[in-house]
Amino acid sequence: MLKFLHIENIAVIEKCDIELTNGFNVLTGETGAGKSIVIDSINAVLGERTSKDLIRSGCDTAEVTALFGDFTDESLSLLKQNEIEPDEDGNILITRRLSLSGKGLIKINGKPFTAASLRQVASGLINIHGQHDSQALLDPEKHCGFIDAVAENEALKEDYYAEFKSLNKIRKELSALEMDEDEKERKTELLKYQINELSTADIKLGEIAELKEKLELAENFEKNLKAFSTTSHILSGDDDTGGVITNLKIAARFLGALETENAKKSFSDINELISKAEDILAEVEIQAESLAENYKNPDEINARLDFLYRLMLKYGNSEEKMLEFLELAQAELETITFSNKRADELAEELEKAKERLVLKGEALTNSRNEASKLFTRDVCDTLEYLNMSGVRLVTQIDKGRYSSNGCDNVEFLISANRGEELKPLSKIASGGELSRIMLAIKSALVDKDNVPTMIFDEIDAGISGFAADKVATKLKEVAKKRQVICITHLAQIAVKADNHLLIEKTVSDDRTKTTVTPITGEDRIKEIARIMSGKEITENIYNSAKELLDRSNI
């Protein structure tokens, strides 16, 4: 439940603290005192969209903080899903800061959250009923949700929706296969041409880099071969002229005949040079031989490169992309080739999926039919209690097209007076009737809706007298199972409160301020009297207010 609300710099509220209790909480005050601002503040701290206009004039920021506790098991489960743990006292603290700069801040127990995440969490904490909820009754699209809440058919809905998605997936795949025959033939011929061109090209990864390297060698072949040949001739010589190695060997023979230490060292050094020169000669001859064996005509290499570059313009800018294109083309051709067979398989699957969907749709419809009987009975019993005994509400469930929510068109029909035909709510219900019908629905759902706090804003619209007294009693009854917060203009409702809060507007230093104060005793009697008669409170009005309060506590 909502235990505490701190509002700062919201509209005319400079700063105020509101302490709420379990049971029935009522907020009253003169028109324009700021009752709607309290609701706006609660909506803000629940993550709803806000406007900068909500920030108090002259301020850059505004802030709303809410303390929640005494959670239901369902609320705790939702908190856990969002990785939120209540503190040691079992509470959570939600803070929302608004800013003219647009850089707002949301925190839950000090941890930053997005507005979307906050809304998800808040959906399990508070259910706010205002005028827009009454208007929802006029929209038949919303009626199915009320029945589903009574039916508690979430598992059936999930099962049906999974089948609905599966059926649409099959239908989509089948539709993709059932292309025009001319289009299929054109696509097949194109794919065959592309596959043949790429397969014949025999593309290999790294080939282009290798060809570029070969091209560079081919273009320098003559120059490289001459260098190797000249080097070999210099080292080995020929029949007429001795080369470097021959001359080194002659020098070695001369030095080898000497016995001096220097001569011996020089002899050793020359032998090392001979060995090194022979190694170089062998390596040069190998390279010359390899160059000759691997020689390719540069024109042939350029032709292959030009061919691959042209393919890259059509199928991708690398060997990898072209090979990937080939693989995809082969897969697509195979799909088309076997599409007729696959289409037959899918058509059979589609029929079976339709049969399963119909069965699951019927199960969903049956749950709604059973729930509608209980729902209609409970709502009509409550309406009779709320001084609408002549009203007859019926839930009409007709078979419609299969959608993600089943195949049921659900609509509430109403007969405002005995003997009159049933008509849509929008054709008959007044504002006061809608408020009471919504209260009756909320009452019927009180054991199904596990949200611990219910807020009623303007539930008293269009009612008075005996009907108002009945509405008050019903709200008090609902408050036995849930925390109820109600903003009201009716004394009959205000006197039933377990906790009565007065919203007042004052002017100080040329600034308007709103305060929210719990009232009891004499102050509460005066507020009830004000609600009954306005500013002028006579002795009779005062006594009537006191009597009304006394009777409400019996």
Q: What is the pLDDT of residues 471-483, one digit of tens each?
A: 888 889 889 888 9
Looking at beta carbons, which pairs linking 257-264 to residues 24 or more positions away fall under 8 Å? none
- DSSP helix/strand/coil, 383: helix
> Dihedrals φ, ψ of 402, to 5°?
-75, 125
Predicted pLDDT at 354: 95
| Angle separating helix axes 431-445 and 465-478, nearest 10 degrees | 20
> Dihedrals φ, ψ of 447, to 5°?
-85, -15
| Angle separating helix axes 339-385 and 140-151, nearest 10 degrees | 80
Asked whether the beta carbons of 135 and 437 are under 8 A apart, the reply is no
How far is 357 from 144, CA to CA, in rounded Å? 19
Predicted pLDDT at 298: 75
CA 110 to chain centre: 23
Positions in the chain whose pLDDT score sits under 70: 130-136, 179-181, 217-228, 230, 233, 239-240, 288, 290-297, 428-432, 449, 553-554
List all residues 6 or more positions away from 230 whose beta carbon is below 8 Å from its beta carbon: none
So where are the chain's domains?
1-137+446-519, 184-337
From the CB of residue 5, how many other CB atoms can be counted at a distance below 10 Å? 20
Classify residue 60 by its DSSP letter.
Answer: S
Predicted pLDDT at 325: 94
| Nearest alpha-carbon partner for 130 in 46, 67, 55, 43 | 43
How far is 194 from 187, CA to CA, in rounded Å? 11
Asked whether the beta carbons of 379 and 393 are under 8 A apart, the reply is yes
pLDDT digits (tens, 9 = 90+) for 122-161: 888 888 876 556 666 778 888 998 899 899 899 999 999 9
Predicted pLDDT at 179: 64
Tell me what percent of the residues of the chain surpass a pLDDT of 90.
36
Q: Which residue has the tokens 């065959």?
A: 192
How far is 377 from 393, CA to CA, in rounded Å? 9
Which amino acid type is present at position 141? E
| Nearest alpha-carbon partner for 487 in 94, 65, 43, 123 | 43
Q: Which residue has the tokens 């959570």?
A: 92
How far is 365 from 406, CA to CA, in rounded Å? 8
Tokens of residue 141, six digits: 């699209």
Predicted pLDDT at 360: 96
How far is 386 from 475, CA to CA, in rounded Å? 11
- DSSP helix/strand/coil, 490: coil
CA 41 to chain centre: 25
How far is 502 from 27, CA to CA, in rounded Å? 6
| Nearest alpha-carbon partner for 248 in 229, 228, 282, 275 | 275
Predicted pLDDT at 295: 59
How far is 112 from 91, CA to CA, in rounded Å? 17
Match domain 1-137+446-519 to its CATH number in 3.40.50.300, 3.40.50.1950, 3.50.50.60, 1.10.3720.10. Answer: 3.40.50.300
Predicted pLDDT at 271: 85
Q: What's the Rg (C-alpha) of the chain?
A: 45
| Angle separating helix axes 431-445 and 339-385, nearest 10 degrees | 110
Which amino acid type is present at position 168? N
| Nearest alpha-carbon partner for 405 in 170, 160, 166 | 160
From the CB of residue 259, how many other CB atoms can be counted at a distance below 10 Å? 6
How far is 225 from 242, CA to CA, in rounded Å? 22
Tokens of residue 154, six digits: 């979430």
